[in-house]
Chains A and B, each alone.
Chain A
Amino acid sequence: QQPVQSPQAVILREGEDAVINCSSSKALYSVHWYRQKHGEAPVFLMILLKGGEQKGHEKISASFNEKKQQSSLYLTASQLSYSGTYFCGTEISSGDYKLSFGAGTTVTVRA
């Protein structure tokens, strides 16, 4: 069953922050975050493993709350290049490998 992402879309001005949530009805082993620009391949951002660690990639970071079966992606001081659709992909157990993706959150950053 695919995870649920919220919000569906967000519009930001440069320098503003945003949070994207990814929730699952099943216990998760890992959460993989990708960004996809129109007509391009999804680009890997980061992986979070069961254990609740927080990771960062430039000014983009994420957390994973096992108990809530939820991951959040934080866009800090957004830049124009952050525009795109963000997907979370979830893995149910170690060695599962296949990912179930949410429907995506479209982020538009305006100057």
Chain B
Amino acid sequence: DTGVSQNPRHKITKRGQNVTFRCDPISEHNRLYWYRQTLGQGPEFLTYFQNEAQLEKSRLLSDRFSAERPKGSFSTLEIQRTEQGDSAMYLCASSSDGVSTDTQYFGPGTRLTVL
């Protein structure tokens, strides 16, 4: 049983460029989450999917961010016109229907550095 995988693990880009990250959830997990984590802070919720439907987006998420989950399997997170403030670790998590709540399992993250 493989865990959540994310690619690339590291991305360095210049300000103004577009970047795309990929997340492959645990097989058969129907929910997929994106979080952002900066140094010294806990993960901050960005958005989540149930199957292929994007059910919620954080109000903090700028229009430059977009996420997709075609066919309810892997997901991509795109950041357009990157800014230095976008530098962070982008974490993906997945979960399946729990009895009362879900356990979210995190991937290793993609560390983005915007120069």
Chain A interface residues toward B at CB < 8 A? 2, 29-30, 32, 34, 40-44, 47, 49, 87, 89, 91, 94, 97-104
Contact = CB atoms under 8 A, between A and B. Distances in A.
B91 interface: yes
Contact of B43 (A29, A91, A97, A101): A101
Contact of B45 (A41, A49, A98): A98
Contact of A44 (B33, B42, B101, B104): B104
B2 interface: no
Interface string B39-60: 0111111001000000010000
18 contacts: A29-B101, A30-B100, A32-B104, A41-B91, A41-B107, A41-B109, A42-B91, A47-B103, A87-B42, A89-B104, A91-B101, A97-B31, A97-B48, A97-B102, A98-B45, A99-B43, A103-B42, A104-B40
Given A40-B108, A91-B101, A98 B41 contact: no
Given A42-B91, A103-B42, 18 more contacts: A29-B101, A32-B104, A34-B106, A44-B105, A47-B101, A49-B100, A87-B43, A89-B42, A94-B101, A97-B48, A97-B95, A98-B48, A98-B56, A99-B43, A99-B104, A101-B41, A103-B41, A104-B41
Nearest 3 A-B pairs (CB), nearest first? A101-B42, A41-B106, A98-B45
- B: interface residue count bin: 20 to 34
Contacts, number: 60
A33 to B, nearest CB: 11
Contacts of B41: 101, 103-104
Nearest to B4: A41
